[in-house]
A and B are shown apart, each in its own frame.
Chain A
């Protein structure tokens, strides 16, 4: 299982990567903004999940989601953000986000969301 983790905060990437390490994830690729993420994502590149922040320099999380979806990729995408305004959440869902996690979160909450959005490892 391969995950693309996108956040401009190295600290937040570390927190999330720590949670991922306790799940059935083989590989985590980190990116600091949407541009880096798109480069890493390429034509899908075997990713099973994209976790992305919203507010980032260069290309934000919403633009990243739109770019991935407009290229026809169906990979699950979860947004992890402090952005909770209703209109913004609706925008994210309309863009193709599968799930949403609000910062701050505890490890249990993150793992529950990941378990829900990740493909079942037994089915892969």
Chain B
């Protein structure tokens, strides 16, 4: 069952608040969402990025809401995050960058879950995939919602793809 407007708003506010908190606390950066995309078709062609070396962290959610929360970064955002978080300097998508991005997903979704305490939710361990937001596909009964952020001169998106139990 698709999310009602109130639930979708609560989830997006929770995800936005959590993402902001993680960046503020862990690396001292303020993130501001610069927009949402086409609400009728959040991953329509016009909204898809064109980077070919992006990375996404996927955390599955189950319980009262089911689906996933996905954080998608271009490769330079991923390198910047790893550098700021653990002083890891690199320009290749090595295991340390993948681990740092996985930890980003873990903390953001953990914080989202905490903000949605009235829902009974369980989160999976994060999976990191070498693909950007343009590669995300969801079942037809799920209508994903997306927020985009500027991270220095780079980009970052959070895509929430959840349906309601029952």
Binding site for B on A (CB under 8 A): 9-12, 14-15, 18, 55, 82-85, 102-106, 109
Q: Is the pair B114, A9 in contact by a Cβ cutoff of 8 Å?
A: no
CB-CB under 8 A for A11 and B96, given A104-B22, A104-B25, A106-B26? yes
CB-CB under 8 A for A105 and B25, given A11-B99, A82-B111? yes
Binding site for A on B (CB under 8 A): 21-22, 24-26, 28, 85-87, 96, 99-100, 102-103, 106-107, 110-111, 113-114, 117, 125
Choose one: A12, A18, A105, A106; the contact of B103 (CB below 8 Å): A12
Q: Is the pair B111, A11 in contact by a Cβ cutoff of 8 Å?
A: no
Q: Is the pair A11, B100 in contact by a Cβ cutoff of 8 Å?
A: yes
Q: Is the pair A11, B107 in contact by a Cβ cutoff of 8 Å?
A: no
Q: Is the pair B114, A84 in contact by a Cβ cutoff of 8 Å?
A: yes
Q: Which residues of B contact A18 (CB under 8 A)?
A: 86-87
Which residue of chain A lies nearest to B101 when distances are taken between CB atoms in the complex?
A11
Q: How far is the CB of A97 from chain B (nearest CB, A)?
A: 18
A83 to B86, CA, bound (A): 23
Q: Is the pair A9, B25 in contact by a Cβ cutoff of 8 Å?
A: no
Other contacts beyond A10-B99, A11-B96, A104-B25: 16, CB < 8 A: A9-B106, A11-B85, A11-B86, A11-B102, A15-B26, A18-B86, A82-B106, A82-B110, A82-B113, A82-B114, A83-B110, A104-B26, A104-B107, A105-B26, A106-B24, A109-B25
Q: How far is the CB of B57 from chain A (nearest CB, A)?
A: 12
Which residue of chain A lies nearest to B109 when distances are taken between CB atoms in the complex?
A82
A109 to B25, CA, bound (A): 9
A106 to B125, CA, bound (A): 22
Which residue of chain A lies nearest to B115 when distances are taken between CB atoms in the complex?
A84
Q: How far is the CB of A8 from chain B (nearest CB, A)?
A: 9
A57 to B96, CA, bound (A): 19
Q: Is the pair B102, A9 in contact by a Cβ cutoff of 8 Å?
A: yes
Which residue of chain A lies nearest to B86 when distances are taken between CB atoms in the complex?
A14
A82 to B22, CA, bound (A): 12
Q: Which residues of B contact A83 (CB under 8 A)?
A: 110
A110 to B107, CA, bound (A): 15
Which residue of chain A lies nearest to B97 when distances are taken between CB atoms in the complex?
A11
Q: Which residues of A contact B25 (CB under 8 A)?
A: 104-106, 109
Q: Is the pair A103, B110 in contact by a Cβ cutoff of 8 Å?
A: yes
Q: Is the pair A104, B114 in contact by a Cβ cutoff of 8 Å?
A: no
Can you sample 15 A-B contacts with CB below 8 Å? A9-B106, A11-B86, A11-B99, A11-B100, A15-B85, A18-B86, A82-B107, A82-B111, A103-B106, A103-B107, A104-B21, A104-B25, A105-B25, A106-B25, A109-B25
